[in-house]
Amino acid sequence: MLLITFAVLAVSSASYSDDSVKQQILKLFPQADSNKDGVISDAEEAVVSRQALKRYPQADKDGDGVLSVAEKKVLLRQAAQRAKRNKPKSGNSPMAQAKKPPTHGNVKYGKHERQVFDIWLADTSKPTPLAIYIHGGGFRSGSKEKLSPKQLSELLKSGISVAAINYRYKTIAPLPAAHHDARQALQFIRSKAGDWHIDKTRVAAFGGSAGAQICMWLGYADEMANPDSSDSIERESTRLTCLATSGGQTGNSPEYWQKMVGTFLGNEFGKSLAKPLNGETDPQKIHMKTWGASTLEEAKQISSRHAALNLVSSDDPPIFMTYSMKPTDKPPTNPERKRGWIIHHVNLGIALKEKTDELKLEAHLVYPGAKTEYRSQVDFFRAKLLEK
């Protein structure tokens, strides 16, 4: 049985052969991480390289029209030197100001050390909408600190409060523990709506990669509140007003991945793309361990219940999806680079867009060259959370 699921494929682009280049790009130009998953993908690196080549054509020493790894490293060293020279002596740079401390930091919503969140409350006299950031990282890395300072600032200025949550990695607890943590955090924050001046009828979620999958699960799952619970938090609603995702995985089954990415993998599709999990190296056992299952069939059933395409219905909230490549883009030839490119492929968003169109459900799909009603996630949230 072919076990190409999101959990198997979800690896960090930090494993690429040009890892040092990507890490330096992320450090010097965090805005290059367009899907906010905490890593620079192959497509994101390509965008930065094209911009650098256009601005500094002299960097192309061999005149072949592309920047080699060595040429990129030279440019990055020069950029680092400029950044060091231009670094403000005080802590009052625009970026430092954007990274304002949260109104409430490391608030515990559960017992585990990763079950915490930060929240920034917008400065307004009226109850504010809320946007919850859920980080990416293949369910094995990442943190709430990956929230974009620019997005945070823009949302707060718009009168939208912002929360950023952590959740347990799959190395700590098998999926869907991460999904359930996000649900618990959402319900906990809603229970504090009165104290924090939040309008709990206007709540959104946004995130990239693994965080995107969790956002779609929250957005498309039926109401998960338990009205009969003795715990007031569990009685809070889990429904969202809208959601925004970057590089999101919309299905989990082997058949789905065969259809969506098989043409890109070619003969490699039948090979294991799994990464070891807690010492386990057998692909089938990794799949079962990922989803906390004792059999392959059980793993398939659990994973299918957390896939957007299997959950979405006509009464679900609008979504704004972004992907960093065009449907016609060719994949990288390096297997490691190709793996990261595929798990965030725009075909995954196209499949969901086709389903939402059939359901006459509002969905916006953005990729290079695509036309869209909204320029950004923030614009989308402004329209959906602030409209009368």
Instruction: Please spell the DSSP secondary structure of 86-127, one letter per residue.
Output: H--SSS-SHHHHHSPPPSEEEEESSSSTT-EEEEE----SSP
pLDDT tens-digit readout, 37-60 = 667 777 778 787 777 766 776 676
pLDDT of residue 332: 81
pLDDT of residue 95: 41
Neighbouring CB atoms inside 10 A of 154's CB total 19
Helix (H) or strand (E) segment spanning residue 53: helix 42-55
Q: How far is CA 239 from CA 134, 254, 352, in A?
A: 16, 29, 19
pLDDT of residue 37: 62
State the Cα–Cα distance between residues 291 and 224, nearest whole angstrom: 20
Q: Is the Cβ–Cβ distance between 273 and 286 less than 8 Å?
A: no
The larger pLDDT score, comparing residue 332 to residue 142, is at 142
* Mean predicted confidence (pLDDT) in 258-282: 69
pLDDT tens-digit readout, 94-119 = 444 446 899 999 999 999 999 999 99
pLDDT tens-digit readout, 226-239 = 999 999 999 999 99
State the Cα–Cα distance between residues 343 and 257, nearest whole angstrom: 9
pLDDT of residue 40: 78
* Structure tokens given for 388: 């009368």
pLDDT of residue 361: 98
pLDDT of residue 62: 54
Burial of 236: CB neighbours in 10 Å, binned 0-12, 13-18, 19+: buried
pLDDT tier for residue 2 given thresholds of 50, 70 and 90:
very low
State the Cα–Cα distance between residues 212 and 283, nearest whole angstrom: 24
Q: Is the Cβ–Cβ distance between 323 and 364 less than 8 Å?
A: no
**pTM for this model (two decimals):** 0.77
Mean pLDDT of the chain: 85
Q: 3-class DSSP state for residue 338?
A: helix
Backbone angles phi, psi at 282, to 5 degrees: -75, 125
Q: Give Cα 295 to chain centroid, integer Å.
A: 29
Highest mean pLDDT among 66-75, 83-92, 174-183, 269-278: 174-183
Q: Is the Cβ–Cβ distance between 307 and 253 less than 8 Å?
A: yes
The larger pLDDT score, comparing residue 169 to residue 280, is at 169
> For residue 144, is pLDDT > 70?
yes
Cis peptide before 94 (omega within 30 of 0): no
Select from 209, 245, 207 the least CA-distant residue to 321.
245
* Structure tokens given for 282: 């057998």
pLDDT tens-digit readout, 208-226 = 999 999 999 999 999 999 9
